[in-house]
Amino acid sequence: MKESGRLKKLLVMGCLSERYSGELKKEIPEVDGFFGVMDYDSVLKEIGFNLKHDLLGERLLTTPKHFAYLKISEGCSNPCSFCAIPLMRGIHKSKTIEEISKEANSLVASGVKEIILVGQDTTYYGIDIYGKRKLAQLLQQLCRIYGLEWIRLMYAFPSLFPEDVLEVIASESKICKYIDIPTQHISDDVLKSMRRGISKRKTFELIETIKKKIPNITLRTSIIVGYPNETEDAFRELINYIREIEFDRLGVFTYSSENGTPAYDLGDPIPSNVKEERRNLIMELQREISLLKNEKLENRIFKTLVDEKINSHFVGRTEKDAPEVDNEVIIQGTDEIEVGEFYNVKINDSSEYDLYGEIVK
C-alpha cells in the first residue's frame, strides 16, 4: 500500500512493539515507527499533531456502539512467574475514579449500554494511588451513571480478593452477576512456582465465598496447562478441580515459555503434544459441564442485549456472557428487533456454547 501511494505511514503500537522495538525495526524496515503502549504523544507528533490533554478519554469505539471495554488501570505489580506483561507494561497504574467516571459518562452519552471493566488485575485497583483497594467504590460510582445498564468485571486476580466487591456486585442491579477470575491452576506446587500468591485451599475458599454471597453468579476462569512443574498428579488435581467447581465459562491455554520471565529458567520440559492433550481433556470436560448448565437455562426468560444481526437471525447475550469469549443467544423468528437494545428472551433450546430463544413481551 505504501508503494502504490495508498498509505503514507505505517506505525505500530503496543506490547510487542514496546518490548522488542529494536529487533522489530531491523526485521520490518517497512514500518515507519514503533511505539510503546502509552506513547500517544509521540504517535501524534509523528503524524503532525499534538496531544490535547482535555480530550484524553474520548474514544473512537472499535466495538459495536452499545458496549465498550473500559480500562481502569495499566500495567501489573504481580509477580506471576510465567507472565511478560509487567516487563512490557510496567507496574500497576490506576486511573482515578474521576477519570474513569468521565470516560464512562462520555461512552454512555455516545450510546454505550454495557461497560466491561478491564485491566491486567482489576482487583488491585486503587492501591497505587489511594493506598488501598478501591474497586468497590469505583463500581458504586459507575452504577450512578444514568443510561448505563450493565457493568461487567473482567480479570479479577484471586489473591487478596477484596470481598467488599462481592457485596457491591450482589446489591447493585446494574452490575452483571458475573466475575472473570483467572485461577490458572490448583496444584499447590504449581501455584507456588507460578508465584500466584494463593494456595489450593484459599482458592476453594474464595470460590465458596463468591458463590455464597452471590448465589446466581456466573464464574469464568482461565487455566494454563503444561507449566514446567505440572506433573501427571498435578494435572489430575486440575481436572478434579474443574469437575468439582463446574465453572460456567472456562478458557484454557498451553504454557508458553517467555524470555525474561522467572519461569523461563525452568525450561519448557513438557512436550507440546502432552500440553495439547491436557488442553483437549479440559476442553472436553468443560464442554460437558457447559452443556448441562445450558440445558438448565431452557424455558427460562433472560434480559438479553442484542449484539448483531447475522443473515436471518439476531445474536445477543445475557448478563451471564461477555462479548467474544462466552456463549451467545441466537434469537429467531422476528425482524422487529434492534441491534443494541435489550429484550426479554425465552430460551427454547441449547447446545454446548449457544442458547436459542425467542423474544417474549
Binding site for ligand SF4 (CB under 6 A): 76, 78, 80, 83, 85-86, 120-121, 157
Cα within 13 Å of Cα(73), Cβ side: 28
Nearer to ligand SF4, 82 or 302 (CB): 82
Nearer to ligand SF4, 89 or 320 (CB): 89
Q: Give CA–CA dist 354/310, Å, rounded.
A: 15
Nearer to ligand SF4, 128 or 277 (CB): 128
Beta-sheet strands, E only, within 190-248: 218-225
What Å distances lie between residue 126 and 36, 93, 169, CA to CA? Answer: 24, 8, 18
Nearer to ligand SF4, 93 or 174 (CB): 93
The DSSP call for residue 172 is -
- What residues form DSSP beta bridges with 243? none
Burial class (CB within 10 angstroms; exposed 0-12, middle 13-18, buried 19+) of 31: middle
Quick one: CA torsion of 337, 117, 58, 60, rounded to 10 degrees? -50
What is the DSSP pairing of strand 301-310 with strand 313-317?
antiparallel
Burial class (CB within 10 angstroms; exposed 0-12, middle 13-18, buried 19+) of 114: buried
Nearer to ligand SF4, 77 or 141 (CB): 77
Nearer to ligand SF4, 76 or 166 (CB): 76
Please report which helix (H) or strand (E) contains residue 293, including its range.
helix 272-295
At closest approach, how far in Å is the CB of 157 from ligand SF4?
5
At closest approach, how far in Å is the CB of 159 from ligand SF4?
9
At closest approach, how far in Å is the CB of 81 from ligand SF4?
9
Residue with cell string 525495526: 25
At closest approach, how far in Å is the CB of 70 from ligand SF4?
17
**What are 178's three cell numbers?**
458475573
Nearer to ligand SF4, 85 or 285 (CB): 85
At closest approach, how far in Å is the CB of 76 from ligand SF4?
3
Three-state SS for 343? strand
At closest approach, how far in Å is the CB of 77 from ligand SF4?
8
At closest approach, how far in Å is the CB of 197 from ligand SF4?
9
